[in-house]
């Protein structure tokens, strides 16, 4: 928003973080609307659609996700359901809820923020079987959506991110530090959301200089 001047709806579970984001964007071109919401909860997609209120959505970025790191033998159904609800179910529900708003000219673009952990034949790490599997599902979803929505002029791609300096990375790999900041990666994702559909559709694209 600071660079492209578009109107943005930012959704997160943490209202304090959203308020800090709003303050940091004060005075910028464009308009920011925030919504404190857990998108993994039933009915969340309908709440987002209500907030959009029929306005055109040029890009939908699925960036929300949770990490679950456990060795095989310790997983329980409740943990797996929560993980897949956030990382897989919610992106599908939100996408289908906003299809009418995404359809139009210029082309609508759905961007799924995945992980190199879910990228086929990339290096894998112990303790992340459920997380990486959820990101693999997200990547496949992006490709399936691209095929199913092409006649509605909606494109869909997945960015498989490598290591970025975030709380999630530090939780998964406490001894690793990435030189890629969350701000720089966020700017890249924003540019891709607005322009990447001109060159790509149905692609799973590695965006990684390093992996832990």
Positions marked active-site? 131
As a residue count, the chain comes to 212
SS3 state at 204: strand
Q: Give the position of tokens 């660079």.
A: 3
CB atoms within 10 A of CB 33: 13
Which pair of structure tokens corresponds to residue 164? 């970025």
**Which residues have C-beta within 8 Å of that of residue 12, sequence separation ≥ 6?**
18, 34, 36, 37, 64
Considering only CA atoms, which of 146, 36, 148, 40 is closest in space to residue 88?
A: 40
Of 205, 196, 202, the residue nearest 119 (C-alpha): 205
DSSP H helices in 122-203:
129-149, 167-172, 182-195
């Amino acid at each position: 928003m600071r660079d492209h001047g578009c109107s943005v709806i930012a959704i997160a579970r943490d209202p304090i973080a959203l308020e800090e984001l709003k303050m940091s964007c004060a005075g910028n071109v464009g308009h920011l609307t925030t919504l404190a919401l857990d998108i993994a909860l039933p009915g969340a997609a309908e709440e987002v659609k209500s907030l959009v209120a029929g306005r055109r959505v040029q890009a939908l970025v699925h960036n929300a996700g949770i990490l679950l790191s456990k060795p095989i033998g310790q997983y329980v159904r409740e943990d797996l359901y929560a993980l897949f609800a956030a990382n897989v179910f919610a992106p599908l529900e939100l996408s289908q809820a906003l299809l009418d708003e995404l359809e139009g000219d210029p082309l609508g673009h759905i961007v799924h923020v995945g992980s190199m952990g879910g990228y086929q034949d990339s290096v894998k790490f112990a303790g992340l079987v459920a997380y990486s599997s959820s990101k693999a599902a997200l990547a496949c979803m992006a490709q399936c959506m691209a095929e199913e929505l092409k006649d509605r002029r909606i494109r869909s791609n997945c960015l498989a991110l490598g290591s970025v300096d975030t709380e999630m990375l530090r939780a998964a790999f406490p001894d690793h530090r990435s030189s890629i900041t969350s701000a720089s990666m966020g700017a890249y994702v924003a540019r891709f959301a607005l322009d990447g559909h001109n060159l790509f559709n149905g692609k799973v694209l590695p965006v990684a200089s390093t992996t832990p």
